[in-house]
Structure 1
């Protein structure tokens, strides 16, 4: 197999680094602390099961889904990963 600019290990290290960064970013976005009893966005009651499952929860399920969708559309990462986009 032809060798490029770097070793195969370097490519694997870069992939692992990107995955680890994404995991750390996701973990830092998780709520922490005491859960609220009512949603801070719409004031709907947050079920006790959700409060126990997600310590530090601040939003009801509906508001959390809306926030997750809004964040998904503002992602600044190039998910295509084409060589052309990397060379520009």
Structure 2
């Protein structure tokens, strides 16, 4: 069902595009390769258990926690201009 000037399936196309964008974003953050023995940011040793648990780990727990906190603060926005994103 289309509404206004949009064509049939436009809403589903928008949902699919948003989902695809988010999957690409998350995949770009995946690590790979050999884990580092020392943190890329602060130089502190990365515990062996963490290196085994996360393939390609590059940050210690403290630096990763700070990075995750910064990412959460940024939040996301729907660049396609949904009504919900405009109400923030």
Report which stretch shifted further, 4-13 or 23-32.
4-13
The match for 2:55 is 55
Q: Is 1:18 aligned to residue 18 of structure 2?
A: yes
Question: Structure 2 length as normaliser, TM-score?
Answer: 0.71
Aligned length: 85
Query: Taking structure 1 as the reference length, what is the TM-score of the superposition?
Result: 0.71
Which stretches of structure 1, 4 residues or more, deviate above 6 A after TM superposition?
Answer: none
RMSD: 2.9
Any unmatched runs of 5+ in structure 2?
A: none
Q: How does 1:1-88 map to 2 (within 5 A)?
A: 3-7=3-7, 9-75=9-75, 77-78=77-78, 81-82=82-83, 85=86
Shift of 1:7: 4.3
Contact 2:78/2:85 (8 A) holds in 1:
no
CA distance in 2 between partners of 1:2 and 1:32 (Å): 43
